[in-house]
Chains A and B, each alone.
Chain A
């Protein structure tokens, strides 16, 4: 058994994954910079990846965990690309990247 998946290390992995999830959610909730908000999303997804790889190793099914991780990484790249394009577009139109000031579509 890989030493990474001893009960103590697994517990620590899940703990760190939760901490990273908290950091990401805090950033998404508190930041008024859209790029930083996307960085928060990235950190949240990295926490999920750590939990997923730990769960895959603990269950002895690493190939399935790897397949899910590969799909997750590629979807994440698309999400970030589209998000950044939208942010750049908003910046060109409105002149700022503060989500509270982007009121062009307000009814």
Chain B
């Protein structure tokens, strides 16, 4: 079994385990595992910068956020039985969906996979930093605006809690 197959199949298994886990804290842990596997795919695909971000932000920070939230709303987990009933059918639904996609979308998109891109495998002309700072500057500014909006939202909501 190749490393690629192991990583990508593990991602589906971790996704299923994350949504089917009875406790939210376990779901957060499976989500972290999913992020680690995705980071592995990124490293294998020669994308180390994205891999490092995925490991530190998604597998680290976001997992901590989910774990904290799960511990704060611990009493809100009285839906476990109902949730288990709903997600019992998920593997079957996923199997049906997978078979449908494999037999229908595969042949339709096969020419796309078989056509080699003209510059596939060629060395990159620009570095990631150059692309972010020069080509994707509007994206960067938008990202900055989202950061500021996020910080202000969190501050406002937490501030309201203190007043009460």
Residues of A within 8 A of B (CB): 1-5, 7-16, 18-20, 22-24, 26-27, 30-33, 35-36, 38-40, 42-43, 46, 49-50, 53-54, 56-71, 73-82, 84-89, 91-92, 95-98
Q: How far is the CA of A63 from the CA of B97 in the complex (A)?
A: 33
What sequence of 0s and 1s flags, for each residue 5-48 of chain B, a beta carbon within 8 Å of any chain A beta carbon?
Answer: 10011011001101100001001100100110010011011110
Render B52-76 as a binary contact track against A, CB cut-off 8 A, 1 for contact: 0110011001100110111011011
Instruction: Determine whether the beta carbon of B69 is less than 8 Å from that of A50.
Output: no
> For the complex, what is the distance from the CA of A60 to the CA of B76, rounded to whole Å?
47
Contact A82 B154 (CB under 8 A): yes
In the complex, A42 Cα to B11 Cα: how many Å? 13
A-contacting residues of B (Cβ < 8 Å)?
2, 4-5, 8-9, 11-12, 15-16, 18-19, 24, 27-28, 31, 34-35, 38, 41-42, 44-47, 49-50, 53-54, 57-58, 61-62, 65-66, 68-70, 72-73, 75-79, 82-83, 86-87, 90, 93-94, 97-98, 101-102, 105-106, 109-110, 113-114, 117-122, 124, 126-128, 130-132, 135-136, 139-140, 143, 146-147, 149-150, 153-154, 157-158, 160-161
What chain A residues lie within 8 Å of B57 (beta carbons)? 73-74, 76-77
A sample of 6 inter-chain contacts (CB < 8 A) reads A32-B79, A36-B19, A39-B18, A53-B50, A64-B131, A73-B54
Which residue of chain A is the closest to B150 with respect to CB atoms? A78
B39 CB to nearest chain A CB (Å): 10
**Residues of A contacting B: mostly:** helix
Known: A4-B44, A36-B19. A42 touches B31 (CB 8 A): yes
Is the pair B124, A81 in contact by a Cβ cutoff of 8 Å?
A: no
How many Å lie between the Cα of A56 and that of B60 in the bound state?
A: 25
Given contacts A39-B27, A69-B42, A84-B69, contact A11 B110 (CB under 8 A): yes
Kindly list chain A residues whose C-beta atoms are within 8 Å of the C-beta of B16.
Answer: 23
A24 to B97 CA separation, bound complex (whole angstroms) = 13
Give Cα A77 to B151, complex, Å.
Answer: 12
